[in-house]
Structure 1
């Protein structure tokens, strides 16, 4: 039986229809492929911080034996690690709790037994810090740090030592120098009088700006001879500022804007409570509850 011949007209029509439909077919196939692949323009979700990732940032351990300074420094260090590792809020306490050793680990195990491990690990970070501070930051130690920050000041042209110690104390007790404008004001107050008078009119927005300007002014003052190299006694600065003759038997204590004079060496002794020499009852500020100044002189 002879092979069957197709109608040439029908074959031509089918070929033309196929050619016309090819662009649509290609577009549909391409769209399907693109739908199954992530778009380069869409940001990828951040990778979850695992405990391995957290430990890779070398966080410090804590054993609870170094008092308030040790705890506050440890918290500051590990908050930086939590930020760098992008640790989720829900994992912060659980990861950091593994860094507790010795006495601190015994304390944490007590918290776990009381609250349950799941509830303890899910504590908010700020609540965890509060519990640690209540355990390892005696009020007396915090008050010492606060008083040191209140009284730290620049000696002579040593701007570097003053800035370093000020920043350390400000990080340990940040509530005394918050917000930023209070930190800037307190930093400027502790500068040498020769520098302080030239920087107060500057419109400074950050503590970094204040440090840079103060350092430049200090270097210029040393080069011009207005500020002698080496350390000077605080009493000499005070005597020159207030037009007093220097007296070895008189001491001046400064408390962030408040001055109290103690005349006659041996008349009074340094108070163990407020850390300021005085007669009679302690001078306690009714605003910030710190010693050494009254509410009208309080700069907080």
Structure 2
């Protein structure tokens, strides 16, 4: 409890729920929290409507059974309970259409990971999430990532980030060449 787990009240927007998941998972790593204790620890930080919901659930299945709920199952239960279906449908549509804007792979990756947490049923398996992630990349990067035949989402993300950084460097180098005159001297650029 010294790690100050954030409270989740159940009245926040879907993005806040994802931040709550992320913060708790960070605490789990720092504290070496075992799989068997994660739900017990996480539910101790619930408040308001979320605590009322969890208390009712624990009474219906028994406190011991509720505390042995796997962490991923608790996350799915909370998404189903605290994210209104209309909001989830909008997020699902966004997830299906998500693409990299320009060369901003970081924003794309962060949004992709948040949406995969909030909409786990859309792309339920690792291979489907990998396919969807690749579909959102620029076409010139997609082929290279596919050819590498990476089998984990983390490996695909790392490769895509490296390719996009190389693409940025090439674009920057080409822009610098364009600012030089034919005799190799830098052109005057008015401010």
Q: TM-score, normalised by structure 1?
A: 0.47
Structure 1 pair 222–178 and aligned structure 2 pair: CA distance change class (3 A): same
Partner of 2:97: 151
- Structure 1 or 2: more helix by fraction: 2
Structure 1 pair 188–96 and aligned structure 2 pair: CA distance change class (3 A): closer
Tell me the matched-pair count: 170
**Pair 1:74-2:20 in alignment:** yes
Q: Distance in 2 between matches of 1:153 and 1:115?
A: 43
Query: Do the aligned partners of 2:79 and 2:118 also contact (CA within 8 Å) in 1?
Result: no
Q: Distance in 2 between matches of 1:66 and 1:186?
A: 28
**Pair 1:172-2:118 in alignment:** yes
SS in 1 for 2:117: helix
Q: Distance in 2 between matches of 1:152 and 1:197?
A: 18
Q: Find the structure with the greater CA-based Rg.
A: 1
Q: Select 1:197's aligned residue among 126, 140, 143.
A: 143
Q: Unaligned 5+ residue runs, structure 1?
A: 1-54, 230-300
Q: Distance in 2 between matches of 1:77 and 1:66?
A: 15
Q: Unaligned 5+ residue runs, structure 2?
A: 176-191
Partner of 1:100: 46
Deviation at 1:189, TM superposition (A): 0.8
Q: Distance in 1 between matches of 2:157 and 2:87?
A: 28
Q: What per-residue deviation string (whole Å, max 9, x for no partner) do you get for residues 256-284 of structure 1? A: xxxxxxxxxxxxxxxxxxxxxxxxxxxxx
Structure 1 pair 154–95 and aligned structure 2 pair: CA distance change class (3 A): closer
Deviation at 1:190, TM superposition (A): 0.6
Deviation at 1:96, TM superposition (A): 3.2
Q: TM-score, normalised by structure 2?
A: 0.69
RMSD of the TM alignment (CA)?
A: 3.2
Paired residues for 1:85-234 under 5 Å: 85-87=32-34, 89=36, 92-111=38-57, 115=60, 119-123=62-66, 124-126=68-70, 128-129=74-75, 131-225=77-171
Identify which of structures 1 and 2 has the higher relative contact order when contacts are C-alpha pairs closer than 8 Å and 6+ apart. Answer: 2
